[in-house]
Chains A and B, each alone.
Chain A
């Protein structure tokens, strides 16, 4: 049951260049999407999110793009820095008034920034 997919298990990018991480989802009920970053032996750290009513959200070096018709989102990191080396997880959820929205995660992409 892979409702959220990250097809690239790993990605290497030169320092200073743009890193683009991709995520696809199959469940059209998802209406809120998040990116988390995870270092070894630590919990996921929230990076950026986007609601389905938007197609872009930007926060500093991080921008998330959402293409609802393609059920695709991407995370752009510009410029990439060595500290960005981590595993990046895409997550999706439904917004509800009950507040108990669980997150459905992708399998993650390991990003390595080459100095």
Chain B
């Protein structure tokens, strides 16, 4: 069964460093998302991406964040200058078609630890 994959599973970085989190969505999916979950809190929406551009972004997704689909398979989240409060699980999700009745499928997540 097709699945969303994410690398790395765990990333440790120093405050102020840049990190890139990678995702490979399910191959025929068209809509891509990043969410994050700070330890003990709810899963929060960061950004949605369709047709090579951002569809919507949350207040969390400030200028330090960017997303890219550099080729036909990868979808990346870059944090330019990490802060301590960026420590969280980051989940990538993808969905096939519009209409709202298609489910978002999530990857296993990347645990980001900022020291």
Q: Which residues does A use to contact B, with CB under 8 Å?
A: 31-32, 34, 36, 41-46, 49, 51, 89, 91, 93-108
Q: Mark B29-56, 1 if CB is under 8 A from A, else 0.
A: 0110101000001111100101000011
Q: A95-B100, A100-B50, A103-B45 are in contact. List 7 more A-B contacts (CB 8 A).
A: A31-B100, A43-B107, A44-B106, A46-B105, A96-B100, A105-B43, A108-B42
Q: In the complex, what distance in Å separates the CA atom of A46 from the CA atom of B106?
A: 8
Q: Which residues does B use to contact A, with CB under 8 Å?
A: 4, 6, 30-31, 33, 35, 41-45, 48, 50, 55-56, 58, 91, 93, 95, 97-101, 103-109
How many inter-chain contacts with C-beta < 8 Å in the A-B complex? 77
Which of A36, A43, A94, A102 is within 8 Å of B109, CB to CB? A43
Pair A99/B45 contact, Cβ less than 8 Å: no
- Neighbouring B residues of A97 by C-beta, 8 Å: 98-99
Pair B45/A100 contact, Cβ less than 8 Å: no
Query: Which of A97, A98, A103 counts the most chain B CB atoms within 10 A?
Result: A103
